[in-house]
Copies of this chain bind each other. A is one copy, B any other.
Amino acid sequence: MKLTVYLAGEIHTDWREEIRSAVGDLDVTFTGPVTDHAASDDCGAIILGSEEKKFWHDRKGAGLNAIRTRKAIADADVIVVRFGDKYRQWNAAFDAGQAVALGKSLVVMHGPDHAHALKEVDAAAQAVCETPRQVAEILRYVLKGDVPA
């Protein structure tokens, strides 16, 4: 068995790299959104033509990002969503909703402060955790049946 795991949400910390490094040589393919914030915001205007209104500037970029996200969610077995303190990350919750409706397994990562606000999302998840290390341990258990010593 191998897994394809979509890492949704926060793009300002290196949590994805921590998970990648912690899983070592497990048979996991990771996907995720474009994490270059400027490119993610401006790709649409740069490629498709600039817009005066910020709303349509954003729309063009969001369209391109959706091509990537849709493909990655469709291909994923598991979606991991990280909610942090800084941003509203509605798009991470939106991705999670799509994934659940498509029958993917959901792992939610957040600190205890957000537990109440995320209770509906957590209730749809197979696991709720706090750290990248736990995500890696989950993936190792799912693939190998090994629990941490």
Residues of A that sit less than 8 Å from B by CB: 1, 3, 31, 34-36, 39-40, 42-44, 46-48, 52-56, 58-72, 74-75, 77-78, 83, 87-103, 105, 107, 114-129, 134, 137-138, 141-143, 145-148
Contacts and interface: CB of A to CB of B under 8 A. Distances in A.
A99 to B, nearest CB: 8
11 contacts: A1-B72, A47-B134, A54-B116, A55-B115, A58-B115, A58-B122, A58-B123, A63-B123, A67-B126, A74-B103, A94-B121
A17 to B, nearest CB: 15
Contacts of A124: 66, 94
Nearest to A121: B94
Q: Determine the main DSSP class of A at the interface with B.
A: helix
Contacts of A1: 31, 68, 71-72, 75
Given A48-B134, A63-B123, A137-B47, A105 B148 contact: no
Copies of this chain, tallied across the complex: 8
A72 to B, nearest CB: 7
Nearest to A107: B67
A130 to B, nearest CB: 9
A88 to B, nearest CB: 5
B98 A90 contact: no
A48 to B, nearest CB: 6
A94 B67 contact: no
Contact of A95 (B34, B56, B97): B97
